[in-house]
Amino acid sequence: MQKFEQYLEANLPNIETFHPIYEKALADMLLAGGKRFRPLLLLRVVEAYEPLLVESAMAAALALEYFHTYSLIHDDLPAMDDSPLRRGHSTLHTTYDEATAILAGDALNTHSFLLLSQAAFRSDVRIRLVEILAINGGTHGMVLGQAIDLYFENIPLELNQIKELHVNKTAKLIAASLQMGAVIVGLSKGVQDELYDFGIKLGLLFQIQDDIIDETQSSQEAGKTTGSDSDKNSFINLLGLNKSIEQADDLAQKLEVQFNQFDDNLQQALKPLITQYLHRHKG
């Protein structure tokens, strides 16, 4: 984690411009902290099999963090969740203005693909990484989930539809992080598919946990605005708190079983990170 933070700080966008706030706006949410869950997943997979590639993989991990941060900036916009707090800091549209926040998100989004295109890997690996991030982060993934989420505010969905919403909005980018690590170290398609499937389930658990945290923690504790999902298709709104906790417990147990089927190298590398998040809804 510390090494990735150092890499991030050393590789912030460096822009020669007379614009007074543009460069700072791009860096603000990156430097605000966060769990760095997605880049760490990628790096731990690489570390499990090819430790010498970890340094080169930092660029791909940073691309994930840029892309995820863009998604948070846009998610907080007035046209979406209209949130004043993210990662314990004021959101960009409240610090600056809405246009600056939109453009900062756009810049981080596109820059993530530049980072992947320039990473120190073979060209076929770079192309595959770009493809995975584009599929899971864009039209067929996170953006689709966000569109469903916004369109169906105040329109109750069924449980399977809520799961589809959050598989796209949250889980696919987490699954992509594991898959990208597997691509970097050249794991077989079968193992890549297993990791992706694990990531989808892990991402769904992550979302249920976020819904529980939104219900049970203050904004100060969570580092972001909570208690604002009354119009959303959340697990809490459909199932209630107790049933949502039961869903999280059940999914966490299934993930533990699946995790224990991975090889020893992967288990050893991922265990600290996975253990930290499997039961965070009980925290």
CATH code assigned at 116: 1.10.600.10
pLDDT at position 246 is 95
- Both tokens assigned to 88: 């314990």
Residue 252: CA atoms inside 13 Å, Cβ hemisphere, count?
19
**Could you tell me the residue range of the domain that residue 185 belongs to?**
2-282
Task: Give the integer Cα–Cα distance in Å for 86 and 84.
Answer: 7
pLDDT at position 224 is 62
Residue 142: CA atoms inside 13 Å, Cβ hemisphere, count?
26
18 burial type by CB count under 10 A (0-12 exposed, 13-18 middle, 19+ buried): exposed
Find all residues with CB under 8 Å of 118, minimum gap 6, and list them.
Answer: 59
pLDDT at position 282 is 73
pLDDT at position 119 is 97
pLDDT at position 142 is 98
Q: Which pTM value belongs to this model?
A: 0.95
Cα angle for residues 126, 3, 263 (degrees, 5° grid): 65
List, for the chain, all residue ranges whose pLDDT scores fall below the cut of 50: none
The structural domain count of the chain equals 1
